[in-house]
């Protein structure tokens, strides 16, 4: 594949990111992967093919089959694992290669800087159907223009073994430094969520906007935690270590992991400690240079329909929170047990409570340091 002619390349550090959809790669619940139509460069210009750059699993027929049937097209997915890997694909792809991209919202400004995505007309999308907190999501807007639409989200806090720790004990990240937790604190081997939660534990709000003194304090806080560590884990390792009890506390992950384990009988849960948690957000954008802009727009519109949103939320292998209020109603009407499990009940406590209580900070890339600075510090921490 030739070097892009028009995109502005963004230099990224080596990918260390194996985040949540890596569970699919890990083969732990990947039944849907084999049925998705994988991307082929020969399909790029085919008007009956929508080329989709995305995390694995998002072009499963259970999610996009209705769209394909309705519009008489096929969706071909080019899968990546991690934002850094996505940016590498972007840097290597000529304009027109992809039509739609799904990205973690904190990477959208890099996509914008690379001239890879185009502005969207807000009137084209049912933004008023989203929870008010998400109707003008800050990571989607640049210079007053919309570049992305929220597809789903989730919270990252402290996941724990419920036989080893009580909810009261894990109500603060400080439990990770307790004698009881010595040798039992596992780490998701991705600097961004892991350091983000440690930064929260150090009182930093927002956790990724640190001056020199706060960054140095974060370093000391991290290094003081190393004696408590049981290991640094990929997604597959997180599942096994939480199942066999090798790791009894893990910061920076959430219900996207523990829900699946819990429903399988593993005694684990996730809490947003009093110091707060992080929100990951997955967003859809139209790729600049596509010859299928209208089809791409229709795909994003379809993805926000209640039926598509419910399908996304209830994927057995990777349940998620969704932003559409009509989709919440449909979920409660048709799958009340799923609504309860996912904490998306319309009556009673739900996942919006932590957001409204201002306990949630958006996961973002570092503000005052480079990505390399944070990656380097993470590598130092691991090598202690």
Question: Tens digits of per-residue pLDDT, 141-200?
Answer: 999 999 999 999 999 999 999 999 999 999 999 999 999 999 999 999 999 999 999 999
Confidence of residue 18 (pLDDT cuts 50, 70, 90): very low
The DSSP bridge partners found for residue 152 are 282
* Average pLDDT over the chain, rounded to an integer: 90
3-state helix, strand, coil in the chain (%, to 5): 40, 20, 40
In this predicted structure, which of 35-39, 101-105, 205-209, 343-347 has the lowest mean pLDDT?
Answer: 35-39
* pLDDT for 315 beyond 90: no
For residues 248 and 186, what is the distance between their CA atoms, to the nearest angstrom?
A: 7
To the nearest 10 degrees (0 to 180), the angle between helices 212-225 and 371-383 is 30
What percent of the chain clears pLDDT 70, i.e. is strictly above it?
90
* pLDDT for 241 beyond 70: yes
For residues 51 and 335, what is the distance between their CA atoms, to the nearest angstrom?
A: 31
User: At which residue do the structure tokens 């139509």 appear?
Assistant: 37
What pLDDT does residue 119 have?
97
What pLDDT does residue 318 have?
80
What pLDDT does residue 3 have?
35
* pLDDT for 41 beyond 90: no
Say if residues 16 and 190 touch (Cβ distance below 8 Å): yes
Q: Name the nearest CA neighbour of 291 among 27, 28, 43, 105.
A: 43
What pLDDT does residue 146 have?
98
46 token code pair: 């085919």
30 token code pair: 């990947």
* pLDDT for 6 beyond 80: no
Confidence of residue 8 (pLDDT cuts 50, 70, 90): low
Please list the alpha-helical segments (H only) found in the chain.
Answer: 22-25, 61-71, 83-92, 108-113, 191-201, 212-225, 235-244, 255-263, 293-303, 306-313, 325-334, 336-341, 352-356, 371-383
Phi/psi of residue 252, each to 5°? 90, 5
What pLDDT does residue 16 have?
39
- Kindly calculate the radius of gyration of the chain based on its CA atoms and give it in whole angstroms: 20
Task: For the chain, give the longest Cα–Cα distance.
Answer: 61
Polymer length of the chain: 384
What pLDDT does residue 275 have?
98
* pLDDT for 26 beyond 60: no
**Average pLDDT value for residue range 291-295:** 96
Nearby residues of 220 by Cβ (< 8 Å), 6 or more positions away:
none
To the nearest 10 degrees (0 to 180), the angle between helices 235-244 and 255-263 is 50
What pLDDT does residue 36 have?
60
* pLDDT for 293 beyond 90: yes
What pLDDT does residue 82 have?
80
Residue that wins the pLDDT comparison between 23 and 247: 247
Query: Each residue of 92-131: pLDDT tens digit?
Result: 988 889 999 999 999 999 999 999 999 999 999 999 999 9
Nearest 5°: the CA angle 182, 186, 188 is 155
**Average pLDDT value for residue range 196-208:** 98
Query: Each residue of 47-91: pLDDT tens digit?
Result: 999 999 998 889 889 999 999 999 999 999 999 888 888 999 998
Confidence of residue 347 (pLDDT cuts 50, 70, 90): very high
In this predicted structure, which of 121-125, 271-275, 314-318 has the lowest mean pLDDT?
Answer: 314-318
For residues 190 and 209, what is the distance between their CA atoms, to the nearest angstrom?
A: 18
For residues 257 and 278, what is the distance between their CA atoms, to the nearest angstrom?
A: 15
Confidence of residue 37 (pLDDT cuts 50, 70, 90): low
**Average pLDDT value for residue range 282-290:** 96
Q: Name the nearest CA neighbour of 35 among 58, 67, 60, 66.
A: 60
């Amino acid at each position: 594949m030739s070097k892009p002619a028009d995109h502005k390349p963004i230099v990224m550090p080596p990918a260390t990111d194996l985040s949540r959809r890596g569970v699919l790669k890990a083969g732990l619940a990947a039944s849907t992967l084999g049925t998705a139509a994988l991307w082929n460069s020969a399909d790029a210009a085919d008007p009956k093919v929508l080329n989709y750059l995305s995390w694995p699993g998002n072009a499963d027929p259970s999610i996009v089959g209705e769209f394909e049937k309705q519009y008489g097209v096929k969706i071909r997915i080019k899968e990546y694992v991690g934002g850094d890997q996505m940016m590498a694909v972007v840097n290597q792809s000529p304009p027109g290669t992809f039509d739609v991209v799904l990205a973690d919202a904190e990477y959208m400004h890099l996509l914008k800087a690379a001239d890879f995505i185009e502005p969207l007309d807000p009137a084209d999308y049912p933004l008023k159907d989203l929870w008010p907190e998400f109707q003008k999501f800050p990571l989607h807007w640049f210079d007053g223009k919309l570049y992305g639409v929220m597809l789903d989200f989730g919270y990252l806090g402290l996941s724990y073994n419920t036989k080893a720790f009580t909810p009261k004990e894990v109500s603060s990240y400080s439990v990770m430094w307790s004698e009881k937790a010595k040798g039992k604190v596992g780490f998701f081997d991705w600097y961004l969520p892991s350091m983000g939660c440690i930064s929260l534990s150090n009182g930093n709000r927002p956790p990724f906007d640190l001056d020199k003194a706060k960054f140095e304090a974060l370093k000391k806080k991290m290094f003081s935690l190393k004696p408590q560590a049981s290991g640094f884990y990929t997604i597959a390792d997180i599942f096994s270590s939480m199942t066999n009890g090798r790791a009894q506390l893990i910061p920076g992950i959430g219900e996207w992991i523990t829900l699946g384990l819990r429903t399988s009988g593993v005694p684990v849960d996730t809490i947003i400690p009093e110091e707060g948690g992080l929100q990951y957000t997955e967003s859809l954008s139209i790729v600049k240079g596509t010859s299928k802009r209208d089809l791409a727009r229709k795909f994003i519109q379809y993805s926000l329909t209640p039926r598509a949103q419910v399908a996304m939320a209830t994927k057995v292998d990777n349940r998620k929170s969704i932003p559409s209020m009509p989709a919440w109603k449909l979920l409660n009407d048709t799958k009340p047990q799923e609504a309860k499990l996912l904490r998306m009940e319309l009556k009673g406590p739900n996942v919006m409570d932590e957001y409204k209580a201002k306990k949630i900070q958006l996961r973002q890339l570092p503000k005052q340091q480079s990505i390399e600075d944070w990656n380097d510090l993470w590598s130092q921490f691991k090598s202690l």
